[in-house]
Structure 1
Amino acid sequence: MSFRSDKLSVLINTGRLELRALLDSPDRLFEGALILKDSRSVKAARVETAEAGVFFLKRYNSKGFFYALRHILSKPRPAKVLRVSNLLRSAGVKTPQVLAAVFKYRYHLLLNTSYLITDYVENIIPPNTLIPGLLGNKSYFTEYRNQVIFCLNHLHENCTTHGDLKIHNIYSRDTAAGLEVGLLDLDSVECYKSPLTAKTRAKDLARFVA
């Protein structure tokens, strides 16, 4: 479901229409939220509201006129993340569901600022805890390895690279059903029109295996 005004376009990817009223002024959601990152490029937070519960919010900051001009013809990051997230989830790969994407425009056409709203993944095992656990438990390591391979195979088989495969972007957490492994931060994904070459696959994996 989508809504659009002169300066704002909202795309809701789920049936959670309670998000609609919150997204008229998405910057207000950062007030009182747990800020996870605040840089020149992005601001990200864990947000909790009475209306919509807990979710993850990321703002992609404006980088000026030429940045906006470039995005007239290219797909904004939240739109790319939405597409790839839906693709991966349909294949059984764990990744946060995109709840909504918001785009603010100048002069009806130039993208100024955009926002991504997704499920928030709780109880992620930090790498400094995960790695000793993997090294000390062979069956745990095998399960982790198999799930990582499953995620990356489906990603690459769908002609897509992650672009930032560091260990922090492959999350792990213990659930009632066992170990869960999935992909985070799809900002740098690239979608290709033909199957990936071995060189492209290897380049995508380089940061993870380094």
Structure 2
Amino acid sequence: MSRNSQELSQTVARNGWFFRLAPDFPADQIPGFPENLDFILASGTILKDSRTTTAALCSADGLPPFFLKRTNNKGAGFTFRYLFRRARAFRAAETICALREAEIDTPAVLAVGEHRRGLRLCGGYIINEMRSEVRDMHALLVKSSEPLRTLDIIMEKAAEQLSRIHNHNIVHGDYKLSNIYLKPDGHPGTWDLDGGLVLRKPDRKKMFEDLFRLTESCRRVLRLAHPDCVPSDLDLCRKAAESYSGPFPFSPEAIRDELERKAR
């Protein structure tokens, strides 16, 4: 089910369920699709189960394993917000499609949809191809025997990739190390695009938040896993600013000031 095309041209709509599917997604081989998705999710290898989201690696009837995430209804505020708008999963799928069109690596969308009872959104769903051969940057930095050298490599690759993302008028929304990975060939990629957004024009504030999130994530991992190898905030921010070449220049001092503000 690995694909280059991101056209979600097939639709399934019945009993409050609405899904868009990739042409080669074998929905007919998944018993009870889409009504059975909650059971499939609960039966999978759970990666996250919180009030907001549930995610798992799943399989069905001999198909290759796939990644399934459900955005959960958190209560009255969530219900009201999504009365007349599509589930956030559709925006994530749009972001993923835009990234792949820009030749930025991210797992393909196989299906995206939602379930409603009347106007009430019960949950949004996204199914992605599974990537088993990649290594996320959070784990790489935690396990590194040379954390400062690894930090230099990670920051350069992550910031350069973020520059490409922003130069295509896309923001990630949660650009932390655990959402950035390295492929076997050394090229980076990214996933978990729940907060992603395709913009009409560059947005300085949103793009700064992505770069800040990357820098903050690096600092947090170093402090927890390698407390004796933590550079100064300004040195860390300088690494981020010097490797970034998006639509707006961001100074190391601006990133450092935001780190200090968030720490108060």
| TM class by smaller structure | 0.7 to 0.9
Give the Cα separation in 2 of the matches to 1:96 and 1:63: 27
Contact 1:172-1:179 within 8 A present in 2 as well: yes
Judged with a 3 Å threshold, the aligned counterparts in structure 2 of structure 1 residues 68 and 157 are, in CA distance, closer, same or farther, namely same
Judged with a 3 Å threshold, the aligned counterparts in structure 2 of structure 1 residues 64 and 31 are, in CA distance, closer, same or farther, namely closer
Q: CA deviation at 1:191?
A: 3.5
Identity across matched positions, percent: 25
TM-score of the pair, normalised by structure 2: 0.68
Q: Which residue of 2 aligns with 1:169?
A: 179
Question: RCO (CA 8 Å, sep 6+): is it higher in 1 or 2?
Answer: 1
Give the Cα separation in 2 of the matches to 1:205 and 1:23: 37
Q: Which residue of 1 aligns with 2:132?
A: 122
Match of 1:205 among 211, 224, 231: 211
Contact 1:159-1:192 within 8 A present in 2 as well: yes
Q: Which has the higher helix share?
A: 2
Match of 1:4 among 9, 13, 20: 13
Q: CA deviation at 1:183?
A: 0.7
Mark the structure with the bigger radius of gyration: 2
Asked if 1:55 is matched to 2:66, the reply is yes
Moved more, 97-106 or 146-155: 146-155
Q: CA deviation at 1:2?
A: 0.6
Give the Cα separation in 1 of the matches to 2:22 and 2:130: 15
Contact 2:159-2:211 within 8 A present in 1 as well: no
Contact 1:105-1:113 within 8 A present in 2 as well: yes
Asked if 1:157 is matched to 2:167, the reply is yes
Asked if 1:76 is matched to 2:87, the reply is yes
Q: CA deviation at 1:147?
A: 4.2
Equivalent AA in structure 2 for residue 103 of structure 1:
E
Q: CA deviation at 1:3?
A: 1.3
Q: Which residue of 2 aligns with 1:196?
A: 203
Q: Which has the higher strand share?
A: 1
Give the Cα separation in 2 of the matches to 1:74 and 1:168: 29
Deviations 1:58-86 (A, max 9, x none): 11111234422311343421101110101
Q: CA deviation at 1:112?
A: 1.6
Give the Cα separation in 1 of the matches to 2:180 and 2:136: 11
Judged with a 3 Å threshold, the aligned counterparts in structure 2 of structure 1 residues 189 and 34 are, in CA distance, closer, same or farther, namely same
